[in-house]
Chain A
């Protein structure tokens, strides 16, 4: 028995170094580089040309209006669903909730495509039922209102989740006490539930706003054809017409996006801070109020909404994918799987995209797992302040819109790597790096919460049994966090596979991803091929989500994002 100089907590010394080196590489380095270029560009006056450009301010205005209106739509949709599904005796709540969550996990460009296929003069679905408006009528969705509506649909689940979490955390005995004090169900609702749920509303709204600001897929598909640019699509356009001032310009533009997002995130954090009633009283299943005669109309309303925002657009998507050519009427006779054969078997671009997306997503999910298992362990065993710092550094690249991170990666890797002399710019490695950075938080959250729920004495008992760090990791810690780790892998895979925003700026010939392929097919007019690819992507999303549903009962609370 020899006294050694290991730390009393039994972690090897390299763990600390590893965690902070990973955070520096994936979070501090790219964002620091972006901040530096933006600051230098402003200081040199390079921003002058940009800042006096009316197109910039038009884009800022478009971003603000679409994001705000989209937030309003999200609050109404998400808030309504959350209140009705959480507090009232609606039948089939689990299924309705799951369906309502779908738009959040479906890539935005697919949402946009499906709605485009639903409305307008060349809608295959409308033609099939003979309701299509005459040719020459403008597509109504190619407008500020159309962008806002779809942003609202896409991000309504964020409001739903935030509000539902708040409602479920309501102390049930508090409501029972109010009933005993003589309050009617309506008074309990008005005096107890709604005031306590208000922070959830506000937080959800702020999250939806931030998500709207950074959204690329929807304004790209709906806005660019009508020359309506938001900040993310303006960056994309500037990047496409590459010039000497491009780097400076896009770093300033993404700075704008970052500022808007940070403002939204600060609002969210502010309102959630006031929500300390969580700890008072037993919070369990929220009391369910009976709707009585209103039940059927309410259920009908929810189903109708789901039909309009989910089922019809995807029926349209399916119809477009089966149509022989864009604009040709679809009947049982003309329906064809030609588009599917084309994207799956013949087109080398889509096949490469499939391969790239799957390999990249798997590599990201598994690579992050190695980092986040150690990081999650470190976070759970650290003091509160260190844990908060690690969580914040990991969160920033994910919380900021993907376009900001993509710009940061471009700036970081435009020049060849020091020491190695090779450039990863234009290769698949820059995408891999950006994915690792962007989805670090997605992987870390479930694993860190699983570690935090582990009783530390489980590890201490293993230490006294004689197990060293690696042995404990293998025998005790990893098996115990395995369900959460599995969920982390699926989540990262799911999100990375559908990624468009980061890839849109970073792809080049041969490294396109699924998201990029869908966008490019649509851009080049192959609407039916884009639809077929989208249908496949939606199917993939649904399968992954169902897989997580199956895992869900073995997972710590809050791991599966659409469950609360």
Chain B
């Protein structure tokens, strides 16, 4: 197996705006990449180009040294040794669970005892051994998704693609399936690409997160890195919670700001340029000193209360509080940390 490389990949459906615009990224062997972005950002198109269902209009897709696709030629999906879990599961209703799982083997000409053993192994990995003779129609959503996963497992593919696989499942099942995916990745060591619009899902599963918007790749980094140091307003708004404040900015200051530096920003010298500062709610501490704020909303979330605070100059902050506060209460807050986007 080898690295999967997307080199200046573009796709234009002729709608005026390219669906995917100049995306370059590299996924290491055995990596787990989450492609994250709002719907219509081009992430599914990237995935479909990697699978071979769409041909790039510019740029190239390489697996190691081999060119899988560029604007002039492409390897058809049936010869890419990839596997995919579809949002709709895409199980063939006229085949039993075992036949569904075993189909990639059948196409590859693997027969008899070897095929049966591999099917059994794959079904065992998703804990569905006893369901081998059922029809997909008799299974629940989560079970269907696990059959689809077993179908990916059975051929040891180079790359496994997952297209919003949890979108049709309820919340409880999602957590269970996330665990299954993690296990699956650890076991198969396949390169995995996971498309989602749910940032929590992306952060929880992937070793790397790539954020896309309007066809462009905004940032790609490890989950903790992208959370701590997002690049630009769009990524900052998409990853995690937080308030983005437009504050006057003085050079030279580091991008990571502490309370004294932030405090200085609230007492600016005239003529300073503005910069976007991301302040996470856990860094907003209710205190005896600091900025004056009025509570404009307080929502109980179970573990804590989520507050929306209105600063005296009209800026909005988010904060957490252990105890309930009333809307309209005045309090003071200290900003422990901020990040210039």
Contacts and interface: CB of A to CB of B under 8 A. Distances in A.
Interface of A: 1-6, 8-10, 455, 457-458, 460-468, 471, 475-476, 479-480
A444 B84 CA distance: 32
Nearest to A475: B103
A460 B77 contact: yes
Given A3-B67, A3-B69, A8-B55, A464 B76 contact: no
Nearest to B51: A464
Contacts of B93: 480
A455 B90 CA distance: 7
B146 interface: no
A6 B103 CA distance: 23
Interface string B33-75: 0000000000000000001111100000000001111101111
B51 A466 contact: no
A89 to B, nearest CB: 33
Instruction: Point out which of B72, B78, B107, B108 has the most chain A C-beta atoms below 10 A from its C-beta.
Output: B78
B74 A464 contact: no
A461 B99 CA distance: 14
Contact of B103 (A10, A457, A460, A462): A462
B294 to A, nearest CB: 43
Contacts of A464: 51, 77-78, 80, 82-84, 104
B84 A461 contact: yes
Given A8-B54, A464-B83, A466-B107, A3 B73 contact: yes
A461 B101 CA distance: 11
A558 B94 CA distance: 22
Contact of A3 (B74, B91, B103, B107): B74
B74 A8 contact: yes
Contact of B104 (A6, A465, A479): A465
Contact of B74 (A4, A457, A468): A4
A263 B120 CA distance: 63
A461 B107 contact: no
A460 B73 contact: no
A2 B92 CA distance: 29
Contacts of B94: 479-480
Given A10-B78, A455-B88, A461-B91, 14 more contacts: A2-B75, A2-B79, A3-B73, A8-B52, A9-B53, A10-B77, A457-B86, A464-B78, A464-B80, A466-B81, A466-B155, A476-B92, A479-B94, A480-B94
Contact of B108 (A1, A463, A466, A476): A466
Contacts of B92: 458, 461-462, 476, 480
Contacts of A465: 78, 83, 103-104, 107, 151, 155
A102 B53 CA distance: 47
Contact of A457 (B66, B70, B82, B88): B88
Contacts of B72: 5
B103 to A, nearest CB: 5
Contacts of B90: 455, 457-458, 460-461
Contact of B77 (A3, A455, A463, A471): A463
Given A465-B103, A480-B92, A480-B94, A8 B53 contact: yes
Nearest to B72: A5
B88 A471 contact: no
For the complex of A and B, 10 pairs with smallest distance between CB atoms: A465-B104, A457-B90, A461-B90, A8-B55, A3-B73, A463-B77, A457-B86, A466-B107, A479-B94, A467-B107
Interface of B: 51-55, 66-70, 72-84, 86-88, 90-94, 103-104, 107-108, 148, 151, 155
Contacts of B73: 3-5
B1 to A, nearest CB: 13
29 contacts: A1-B66, A1-B81, A2-B75, A4-B74, A4-B76, A5-B73, A6-B74, A9-B53, A10-B77, A10-B78, A455-B90, A457-B87, A460-B86, A461-B92, A462-B103, A463-B52, A464-B84, A465-B78, A465-B83, A465-B103, A465-B107, A466-B79, A466-B104, A466-B108, A467-B107, A475-B103, A476-B92, A479-B94, A480-B93
A3 to B, nearest CB: 4
Instruction: Point out which of A2, A466, A476 has the most chain B C-beta atoms below 10 A from its C-beta.
Output: A466
Nearest to B55: A8
B74 A461 contact: no
A469 to B, nearest CB: 9
Contacts of B151: 461, 465
Nearest to B82: A464
Given A8-B74, A455-B90, A460 B80 contact: no
A463 B67 CA distance: 19
B262 to A, nearest CB: 49
B147 to A, nearest CB: 11
A465 B79 CA distance: 9
Contacts of B84: 460-461, 464
Contacts of B103: 462, 465, 467, 475
B85 to A, nearest CB: 9
A1 B77 CA distance: 11
B149 to A, nearest CB: 12
Nearest to A2: B75
Contacts of A479: 94
Contact of B86 (A9, A10, A461, A466): A461
A3 B75 contact: yes
Contacts of B81: 1, 466
A475 B105 CA distance: 13
Contacts of A463: 52-53, 76-78
A467 B78 contact: yes
A4 B53 contact: no
Nearest to B161: A464
A8 B93 CA distance: 25
Contacts of A457: 86-88, 90
A5 B70 CA distance: 11
A54 to B, nearest CB: 58
Nearest to A9: B53
A1 B75 contact: yes
Contacts of A458: 90, 92
A464 to B, nearest CB: 5
A488 B55 CA distance: 35
A479 B103 CA distance: 14
A458 B155 CA distance: 18
Contacts of A468: 76, 78
B76 A10 contact: yes
Contacts of A5: 72-73
B144 to A, nearest CB: 12
A549 B75 CA distance: 45
A47 to B, nearest CB: 47
A2 B69 CA distance: 10
Given A461-B84, A476-B92, A6 B107 contact: no
Contacts of A455: 88, 90
Contacts of B77: 10, 460, 463-464
A5 B68 CA distance: 12
Contacts of B104: 464-466
Nearest to A468: B78
Contact of B68 (A3, A9, A475): A3
A463 B93 CA distance: 16
Contacts of A1: 66, 68, 75, 79-81
Nearest to A467: B107
Nearest to A8: B55
B154 to A, nearest CB: 9
B122 to A, nearest CB: 13
B41 to A, nearest CB: 20
Nearest to B77: A463
A3 B68 CA distance: 7
B51 A460 contact: yes
A465 B101 CA distance: 10
A466 B79 CA distance: 6
Contacts of B155: 465-466
Contact of B78 (A2, A9, A466, A475): A466
Nearest to B102: A465
